[in-house]
Chain A
Amino acid sequence: AQSVTQLDSQVPVFEEAPVELRCNYSSSVSVYLFWYVQYPNQGLQLLLKYLSGSTLVKGINGFEAEFNKSQTSFHLRKPSVHISDTAEYFCAVREYNQGGKLIFGQGTELSVKP
């Protein structure tokens, strides 16, 4: 069965510093990978997704992620964060034979300090 592990529950960082949020998954079949962001008291918004092709994926708000099949990872990065990036970030996986069913990681709370 598939599972998603987000290795850090909280990541504090100073404004304009780089950040990496880590995500590993386990699955025996092909997967599709997603990162969502949830701002306080809001729903989820898609940041980026990997379906196929280039393993480096660029998303909204300056975020990017790299799919590494051998390490079963899909880490999210941003070279310079802003206060407004403070939010909860969820990595999610879909197996190719499970329709639209998303399996989420436990989330990483990114806290950007001035």
Chain B
Amino acid sequence: DTEVTQTPKHLVMGMTNKKSLKCEQHMGHRAMYWYKQKAKKPPELMFVYSYEKLSINESVPSRFSPECPNSSLLNLHLHALQPEDSALYLCASSQEFNPYNEQFFGPGTRLTVL
């Protein structure tokens, strides 16, 4: 199983809503990532978890709150988002957080903030 799954596929939320994005992998990977991708742009790294501990936070606003409840699961909690936060949110995982290991990407959650 070399798949990273993400739910939901699409999400529409208002600026006062609270919602969560979910990412799951069963490859035994110990590094998991959240990326944000705007249309026609490359993915931008948001967070990295390594062995279930937050390793990197790329100065992401606090309205995005990541959580890694176990080694297979990664959540992104969303609260009080802005319309400019509308984007494709990609999750990825790799064996370890090192330069050699391939990152496997999920299909993404397309988020629209109204």
Contact = CB atoms under 8 A, between A and B. Distances in A.
A102 B31 CA distance: 13
Interface string B62-76: 000000000000000
Contact of A99 (B98, B104, B110): B98
Given A94-B99, A95-B99, A100 B40 contact: no
Contact of A102 (B40, B103, B107, B108): B103
Contacts, number: 61
Interface string A25-42: 000000010001000011
B96 A100 contact: yes
Contacts of B33: 100
A44 B90 contact: yes
Contacts of B103: 46, 100, 102
A107 B41 contact: yes
B57 to A, nearest CB: 12
Interface in B67-114: 90, 92, 94, 96-108, 110
Interface of A: 32, 36, 41-46, 49, 51, 88, 90, 94-96, 98-102, 104-107, 109
